[in-house]
Amino acid sequence: MDTQQAFEMAVKHLRKQGCRSEQDGVILCRYRIPENNLKCAVGALIPYELYQESFEGTSIVSLIDTFDEINKLFENVNTKLLEDLQNIHDNYAVTYWERKWEELSKVYGLTMPEEDDVDTNNAFHGG
């Protein structure tokens, strides 16, 4: 996957999900919450077969540095973009996400996916 693909998949996933990946109203760095099938922007990019519970509470930079499979998955993706996507998910209300993604698309020279272009068969978000 490259930076454009990662951006599109994260945006499409979060548009479809329509809420933060949080549990009991607590916003933490949660890549995935199995109980309610919520995922953060980066969690949506990690295939189920690579995901480990030990990822939780760890920054994406640390995951890339620590886990060879995650490093390989994101080797062609701008790590700063992944951090920015996590930041938007964790620190902005859902109503601000579209505007923040637009800003990111301009900063990184990326194309915004169409709003009705939600891929419900995306293998990376797993459902």
Confidence label for 35 from pLDDT (cuts 50, 70 and 90): confident
Tens digits of per-residue pLDDT, 71-117?
999 999 999 999 999 999 989 999 999 999 999 999 999 999 988 75
Q: Between vectors from CA 52 to CA 49 and to CA 57, what angle results, nearest 5°? A: 145
* The pLDDT of residue 121: 41
Burial 55-80 (b: 16+ CB within 10 A, else e): beebebeebbeebeebeebbeebbee
Phi, psi of 26 (to 5 degrees): -100, 120
The dihedral through the CA atoms of 104, 10, 13, 90 has a sign that is negative
Phi, psi of 32 (to 5 degrees): -155, 140
Q: Which burial class, exposed, middle or buried, applies to 127 when counting CB atoms under 10 A from its CB (0-12, 13-18, 19+)?
A: exposed
Query: Cα(47)–Cα(104) distance, rounded to whole angstroms?
Result: 24
pLDDT at 23: 67
- 22: confidence class by pLDDT, cuts 50, 70, 90: confident
